[in-house]
Structure 1
Amino acid sequence: MIKRQKEMSEYEYAQLDKMVYQLYLVYGKGLEFDECRSIAFLKYVEVRKELHDFYNEDLLWLYSKNRIIDAFKEAQREKNRQIRLEAKLSMNQLIGESGEPVYTILFPARGNFVNYVCLWHDMRQLGKMCYTILLALYWGSEDWEIVDWLKISAQAYFNIKDFLRMKLKAYVEI
């Protein structure tokens, strides 16, 4: 005869849910709550199955708590292992014994360093406001971000931007 496990009462479910949340706050760092909740409920059911002949509620909660904590730690180890695997694809990895990162081979330096330094030196001569706007544009800021950051009017900003466009065009033609 197959012995069936009794269903979980609403009270038991609520207590388990509360315990899972408390354990998640302590041991579930870096994991999703829903993932931890499903792991915890599965572990609780496993412990309930194991203790079906010797059913002691205090023992059930202690065993299940320890199993849930171990399961959370295992989930974290698995997640960390996955991150380490992905990190092997990082562009900052060193190539063999050369000591150079991967990106230096895949994306070699282009252009002339001297020209680059001269350009920025010459652009600094245009004034602090022009230089700041040029730097912000170089780093990918949007027009509205620059206007908001520098606290200038849109009209003044676009006038400076047109002035910079003319100066850069003249600089390239030299």
Structure 2
Amino acid sequence: MDYYIHKKMAFPGGNAFNVAVYAAENGAEAGFLGTVGDDVIGEHILKCAREKHVDISHCPVKHGVSGRAAVNIVDGDRVFVSGYFEEKHGVGSLYPPMLSSADLNYVESFQLVHSSCYAHVENQIERVRALGPIISFDFSSEDKYRTDEYLKQVSAMVDMALFSCEDMSDEECI
């Protein structure tokens, strides 16, 4: 959930959730398998997913707080504010999805699977890759997801690597 501090409003979000919603809005069959908490935030995320026709039948719900991010708008850009919420992690980072046989059968019905560094499912990518879909992966902009070791490990398993490079020079991007 993205909480916009200046508006005092929250909206379901997160990289993979947004991709699923946009896919559904553009007529594709879409599902979301991110872990959400059994709190009011998680209930709202699942409600919004259903309203947007995103299948959540394989979405794990765990006891605890759903992931959330505090956002400010600075010069028209979203800026994430660390330390705004007491909880350091939502259940999604504490209990990343572990794909069951039923989940893998479900995932196999899709042509494209999208994930990100924040999903904490790097250990599941090879299992999904074996099913044959195109895999896209968002590395975001945090330095801890830009180490040579992490990039080599994950980029070797995906078809499309996405990076947020707004603060980088052209040379740094290359």
**Structure in which a larger fraction of residues adopt strand:** 2
TM-score, normalization by structure 1: 0.19
Higher relative contact order (CA 8 A, sep 6+): 2
TM-score, normalization by structure 2: 0.19
**Structure in which a larger fraction of residues adopt helix:** 1
